[in-house]
C-alpha cells in the first residue's frame, strides 16, 4: 500500500509525475491556502506533506497528525516550521537549500538598480502622463558604480550578491555570524566589517540573512539612524528582519534615500504607508520566482519527501537528531 501525502499548494505537473509512482497524492492544485484547522484535518491520515511558507507547522498542528513522518518545505527558509516540535513528534523536516541562490541574487540586484535609479517612480511618472520632456535634474538617482555595498548575511545568496558586485567595481563589506575564510572572501571580493561599520559606511545595504528570534527587527530605528542619508536598503530575506514601521518613518522623513523590498512583516498583509511612498520599490516575495528555480525548489522538496518515506534519509534534513 502506498504512503499518503499532501501537497499544500499548487505545484508543477513534473512534480506530480515524479511523486505519483511512490505515493497516494492529495494535491491542492486550486492553490487556496489552508487555514490551520483545514490543514490539520487534511493531514490527519497523511504520512508526509510538502509545505509552503504559508503553512505553519507547530506542536498544535502535529498533535492532530499521528501518522505524519515528514514535513518537506518548498523553500530554503523554514521559519514557518517549528523544527524542535517536529523532532519531539518524531517528524523529519527538510528544506531546499542551494537551488535558488542565483535567481535570488539576480533579483537582489534588480532591486538595487531599480531603487538607486528610481525606476518604479520613473515608470509611474511616465504612465501617469506627467512627463513633459527632458530636464537636467529630472528624477536624480544615485550611482551604483564604485559605491560601497554592505551585505548582512554571507551565506550562499549573500556570496552570490557579492560576486555580482565585481562588475560595478564596488567596495564590498559583509557581516555574518561566522566570518568567511580568506579564500572565500577573496573569491567574493568582500571584507568583514562590524554591523555599525556597515551601517555607517555603506551606500547600499542588502539583507540576506535568515529570520529568527535573533534577527527579528535586525534593522530598526536605531540602525536606520546610523545609515547615510543617501543610502538605500534592500530586503530579500524575510519580513520581520526589518521593523517596517521604523522604515516607513525613515523613508517618510528622508532619513535614508530609499528602499527595495521583496518581503514584509505579516505578509501578505503589509504596512499600507509603503503604498504612499515614492522612494520604495515593492515586490510580492518573488526573488526566487523563475520557472526553472521554482521547479527546482519543488522537485528538491519532492525528492526529500520520497527519500524520507522510503529510506528515512532525506538529503536536506533539518533535524538529524530525530533519527537518534
Contacts for 166 with CB less than 8 Å, ≥ 6 apart: 189
Which grid coordinates belong to 161?
550578491
57: left (phi over 0), alpha (psi -120 to 50) or beta: beta
| Residue 285 bears catalytic tag | yes
d(CA 146, CA 241): 27
33-64 pLDDT per residue, tens: 999 999 999 999 999 999 999 999 999 999 99
| Residue 238 bears catalytic tag | yes
Give the pairing of strands 92-94 and 280-282. Answer: unpaired
- Answer yes or no: are the C-beta atoms of 28 and 57 closer than 8 Å: no
Round the average pLDDT of the chain to a whole number and report it: 97
pLDDT > 70 in the chain, percent: 100
**Quick count: other Cβ atoms within 10 Å of Cβ 298?**
25
pTM of the model: 0.93
Catalytic residue among 238, 265, 294, 303: 238
| Residue 267 bears catalytic tag | yes
Return the pLDDT at 1. 82
Domains in the chain (CATH in brackets) are 3-99+291-323 (3.40.50.720), 101-282 (3.40.50.720)
Amino acid at each position: 500500500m502506498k504512503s499518503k501525502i499532501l501537497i499544500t499548494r499548487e505545484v508543477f505537473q513534473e512534480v506530480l509525475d515524479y511523486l505519483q509512482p511512490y505515493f497516494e497524492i492529495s494535491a491542492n492544485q486550486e492553490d487556496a491556502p489552508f487555514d490551520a484547522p483545514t490543514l490539520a484535518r487534511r493531514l490527519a491520515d497523511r504520512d508526509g506533506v510538502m509545505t509552503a511558507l504559508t503553512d505553519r507547522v507547530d506542536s498544535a498542528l502535529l498533535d492532530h497528525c499521528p501518522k505524519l513522518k515528514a514535513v518537506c518545505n518548498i523553500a530554503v527558509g523554514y521559519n514557518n516550521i517549528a523544527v524542535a516540535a517536529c523532532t519531539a513528534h518524531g517528524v523529519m523536516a527538510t528544506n531546499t537549500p542551494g537551488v535558488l541562490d542565483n535567481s535570488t541574487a539576480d533579483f537582489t540586484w534588480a532591486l538595487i538598480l531599480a531603487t538607486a535609479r528610481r525606476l518604479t517612480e520613473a515608470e509611474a511618472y511616465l504612465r501617469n502622463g506627467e512627463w513633459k520632456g527632458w530636464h537636467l535634474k529630472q528624477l536624480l538617482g544615485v550611482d551604483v558604480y564604485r559605491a560601497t555595498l554592505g551585505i548582512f548575511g554571507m551565506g550562499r545568496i549573500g556570496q552570490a550578491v557579492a560576486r555580482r558586485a565585481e562588475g560595478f567595481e564596488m567596495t564590498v563589506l559583509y557581516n555574518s555570524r561566522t566570518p568567511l575564510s580568506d579564500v572565500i572572501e577573496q573569491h567574493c571580493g568582500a571584507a568583514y566589517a562590524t554591523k555599525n561599520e556597515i551601517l555607517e559606511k555603506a551606500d547600499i545595504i542588502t539583507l540576506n540573512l535568515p529570520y529568527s528570534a535573533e534577527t527579528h527587527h535586525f534593522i530598526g530605528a536605531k540602525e536606520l539612524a546610523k545609515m547615510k542619508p543617501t543610502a538605500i536598503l534592500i530586503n530579500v530575506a524575510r519580513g520581520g528582519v526589518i521593523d517596517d514601521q521604523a522604515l516607513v518613518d525613515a523613508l517618510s522623513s528622508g532619513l535614508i534615500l530609499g528602499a527595495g523590498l521583496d518581503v514584509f512583516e505579516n505578509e501578505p498583509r503589509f504596512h499600507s504607508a509603503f503604498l504612499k511612498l515614492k522612494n520604495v520599490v515593492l515586490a510580492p516575495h518573488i526573488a526566487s520566482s523563475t520557472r526553472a528555480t521554482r521547479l527546482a525548489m519543488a522537485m528538491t522538496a519532492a525528492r526529500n519527501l520520497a527519500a524520507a518515506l522510503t529510506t528515512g534519509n532525506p538529503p536536506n534534513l533539518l533535524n538529524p537528531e530525530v533519527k537518534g
